[in-house]
Amino acid sequence: MKRLLDLRFLIGLLFVLYGIILGIYGLAVNPRTVVGWNLNFWWGLLILAVGLGFLIWSRFEESED
């Protein structure tokens, strides 16, 4: 229960959720190629990676209680 209240875990879950949604959206819609690459898909992957980093960080680092 203590792990579920850790902010790193909650932020990680939120970022993973947003990353998945944005990545799927980037694949599903017609990509806007203003800069030559699909911004929604790549930002979704980046946000997903950050979220996974937070989840890993919350898993392996002990709390100070």
Per-residue pLDDT tens for 11-40? Answer: 999 999 999 999 999 889 877 666 778 888
Domains in the chain, number: 1
**pLDDT cut 70: percent of the chain above it:** 80
Structural domain span for residue 7: 3-60
- By the 10 Å C-beta count (0-12 exposed, 13-18 middle, 19+ buried), 23 is classed as buried
Structure-derived torsion over alpha carbons of residues 26, 29, 33, 34, reported in degrees to the nearest 10: -90
Q: H-helix or E-strand containing 54?
A: helix 39-60
13 CA to centre of own chain = 7
Whole-model pTM: value is 0.80
In this prediction, residue 37 carries a pLDDT of 82
Average pLDDT, the chain: 86
Establish if 65 belongs to a structural domain.
Answer: no
- Considering Cα of 42, then 47, then 53, then 56, what sign does the dihedral take? negative
